[in-house]
Amino acid sequence: MLAELEEKRGKLRQESLAFKDRRSQLNAEASKWAAKRNELNKATKELIDKAQELKKLRDENNKNVAESKKHRDEFNEKTNQLYARIDDIRKKYNLTGDRSIRDLRREIDHLEFRQQTEVLSPDKEKQLVDKIASLHAEFKSRKEQLEKNEELRKLLDEAQALRDEASKHHDDVTKYAELAQEYHDQMIATFKEADQTRAEADAAHKEFVKAQEAADEQHKEFIRTQREVRDFEKVIMGLKKKNKDIKEDRAKEVAKREAEEILTHFRQGEKLNTADLLRLQRAGLV
């Protein structure tokens, strides 16, 4: 019985150690996944901060685009008003042809905008360039004729100065629009990268939870087997004490019988030696 209990206790100890080792392995794995998750979460936050900064830069440039458009349109409107005055004076003095210089300027601006923004075939591109060149030549010729009139020359110079200012603001519109688009594209790419790292962080967290839960199960098994080992040890210690008590009782019984025999022989006149006296003493009879 005792040997069987000790054998079972030994197996439980081995199982307990195995649970403890597996728990340690799983805790180490959970720590590894937690570290990776934290690293990815940190990277995600940094990317989101970067994307927000890019968004801020994009919005600032879009605001600049709006401001530059406003100034450009104001100067264009002033230019158109001057060209309208020029056309009124031209009609008054019956100068040059019927087509107004304002309409020429508008058509040139419209075609130049098409050239800058539309994707055209080589033939269409050439036709457009030729048309713009022809209109520029007509505008120049019409302007030179009008400039012979002192009042018109001053107005044309003033209109040109206003148009130059409008062109500067238009260049700013283009510059800020390109910057805004560049920051927008970078922002979108950064947000996508943040989404990717966030997904990787979520996956790492799932692995962490899985490893942690498995480690908790191994810990429960370790505690259970440790408790069972202690229970077996209590039973084994009790049995050993009981066996020891039985042996002691048997020894006392044997010593008592031997002592009684010695006393019987002593009463019959036999002499006692030192060994006999020690036996009597152990039996509690002297």
Tell me the domain boundaries of the chain: 31-211
What stretches of the chain show up as alpha helix (H) in DSSP? 2-92, 101-117, 122-146, 150-267, 274-282
Over residues 202-217, the mean pLDDT reads: 97
What is the band of 179 on the pLDDT scale with cuts at 50, 70, 90? very high
Give dist(CA 83, CA 85) in Å, integer. 5
pLDDT of amino acid 276: 65
* CB under 8 A, 24+ apart: contacts of 52-56: 54/183, 54/184, 54/186, 54/187, 54/190, 55/183, 55/187
On the question of pLDDT at 285 being above 60, the answer is no
Give dist(CA 50, CA 67) in Å, integer. 26
On the question of pLDDT at 54 being above 90, the answer is yes
pTM: 0.63
Copy the structure tokens of residue 242.
């009981």
Number of other residues whose CB lies within 10 A of the CB of residue 89: 15
pLDDT of amino acid 282: 65
The tens digit of pLDDT for each residue in 107-128 reads 888 888 788 778 878 888 888 8
Over residues 247-256, the mean pLDDT reads: 74
Answer whether 283's CB lies under 8 Å from 256's CB.
yes
pLDDT of amino acid 110: 84
Give dist(CA 71, CA 65) in Å, integer. 10
Of residues 14 and 244, which shows the higher confidence score? 14
Which has the minimum average pLDDT: 38-52, 125-139, 199-213?
A: 125-139
Which residues are CB-neighbours of 203 under 8 A, at least 6 positions away? none
On the question of pLDDT at 33 being above 90, the answer is yes
Give dist(CA 230, CA 228) in Å, integer. 5
